[in-house]
């Protein structure tokens, strides 16, 4: 498994295991620990969370597994996020879905994540969504405090535009180490709207959420989904890939910006498709063929 250098002292596995749907997998702590160990054996050492995942429950499930084998902590990298406030019976004081990137909320959210996950630090904390009410100086101050206290090693963002990143980077005195964005064969816009160009320029490595378009790739009946699925099937035959998943992952892995797809499955065989994708011999023309079917037209 290729390692991606996010900062001088931080490496992720290129494939990241995403715990977005962890609560739905219905695993005991022992079963989750076992799944994580199999991931690690396969080279996947980075795990992606957010405070809000599973209605604020996933971090705790992860923490219960980690508590069974605390020594695992030093072999893995943990990403979590903050900044969204959901309406939830677990947060009864929230009256509306909103964002909060105040110093107070970021620090409280991060500290709560540490407690839930049974860890003394997270490797990377992301601001989950760009907050139109952000005071970037205040947000950066929260970062400086959490870093100084050893609670968070590095910071990043998610779903940010270049301008939003620049605004926050201008106040934060360390590197923003990633921008976690939606990116897949069905969501190719970031290759054209400046998002990926900006990250390439700044040498910030993107994480890709929904790298399989959240199942739409398999079940979607819309024109684009059907067209792209056919293209992936054709390339799968040409490359002898074992599934279209593998081709969809390879399409991301092959890109020079060093994209890290987040695999959100609890099944080891689905996870392995991503791992195997790294070795798929995808040609430049095959990459453009998939892009063409995604755009619904030839390149200009």
Among positions 41, 132, 148, 150, the unique one binding a second copy when judged by CB under 8 A: 132
Q: Is 230 in the site for a second copy (CB under 8 A)?
A: no
CB 248 within 8 A of CB 259: no
Closest CA to 273 of 295, 292, 252: 252
Q: Is 298 in the site for a second copy (CB under 8 A)?
A: yes
What stretches of the chain show up as alpha helix (H) in DSSP? 22-25, 29-41, 53-56, 58-68, 103-117, 136-148, 162-169, 195-202, 216-219, 223-239, 244-253, 268-277, 284-295
Q: Is 144 in the site for a second copy (CB under 8 A)?
A: no
**Separation between Cα atoms, residue 39 and residue 272, nearest integer Å:** 9
Shortest Å distance, C-beta 211 to a second copy? 17
Q: Which is nearer to a second copy, 92 or 132 (CB)?
A: 132
Q: Does the CA dihedral 5-253-258-284 come out positive or negative?
A: positive
Task: Give me the count of residues in the chain.
Answer: 300
172 is catalytic: no
Element (H, E) at 178: strand 176-182
**Separation between Cα atoms, residue 12 and residue 5, nearest integer Å:** 7
**Separation between Cα atoms, residue 286 and residue 97, nearest integer Å:** 42
Q: Per-residue x/- marks for a second copy, 15-44, CB under 8 A?
A: ------------------------------
Shortest Å distance, C-beta 190 to a second copy? 10
Among positions 26, 41, 96, 221, the unique one binding a second copy when judged by CB under 8 A: 96
Query: Which parts of 270-289 interact with a second copy (CB under 8 A)?
Result: 284-285, 287-289
Q: Is 135 in the site for a second copy (CB under 8 A)?
A: yes
* Binding region for a second copy (CB under 8 A): 84, 94-100, 102, 129, 132-136, 138, 159, 161-164, 166-167, 170, 188, 191-192, 194, 196-198, 200-201, 255-256, 284-285, 287-289, 291-292, 298-300
Which residues are known to be catalytic? 53
């Amino acid at each position: 498994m290729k390692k991606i250098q996010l900062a001088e002292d931080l490496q992720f596995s290129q494939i990241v295991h995403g715990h977005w749907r962890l609560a739905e997998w219905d695993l005991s702590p022992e079963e989750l620990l076992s799944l994580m160990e199999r991931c690690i054996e396969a080279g996947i050492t980075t795990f992606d969370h957010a405070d809000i995942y599973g209605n604020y429950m996933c971090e705790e499930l992860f923490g219960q597994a980690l508590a069974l084998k605390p020594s695992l902590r030093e072999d893995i990298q943990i990403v979590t996020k903050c900044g969204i406030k959901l309406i939830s019976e677990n947060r009864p004081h929230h009256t509306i879905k909103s964002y909060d990137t105040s110093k107070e909320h970021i620090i409280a959210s991060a500290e709560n994540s540490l407690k839930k996950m049974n860890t003394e630090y997270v490797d990377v904390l992301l601001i989950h969504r760009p907050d139109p009410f952000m005071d970037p100086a205040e947000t950066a101050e929260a970062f400086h405090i959490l870093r100084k206290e050893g609670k968070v090693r590095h910071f990043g963002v998610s779903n940010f535009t270049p301008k939003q990143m620049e605004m926050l980077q201008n106040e934060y005195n360390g590197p923003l180490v990633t921008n976690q964005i939606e990116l897949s064969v069905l969501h190719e816009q970031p290759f054209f709207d400046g998002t990926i160009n900006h990250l390439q320029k700044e040498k910030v490595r993107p994480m890709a959420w929904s790298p399989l378009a959240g199942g739409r790739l398999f079940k979607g009946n819309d024109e684009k989904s059907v067209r792209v699925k056919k293209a992936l099937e054709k390339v799968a035959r040409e490359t002898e890939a074992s599934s279209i998943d593998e081709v969809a992952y390879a399409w991301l892995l092959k890109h020079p910006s060093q994209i890290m797809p987040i695999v959100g499955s609890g099944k080891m065989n689905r996870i392995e498709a991503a791992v195997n994708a790294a070795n798929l011999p995808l040609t430049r023309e095959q990459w453009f063929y998939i892009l063409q079917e995604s755009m619904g037209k030839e390149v200009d």
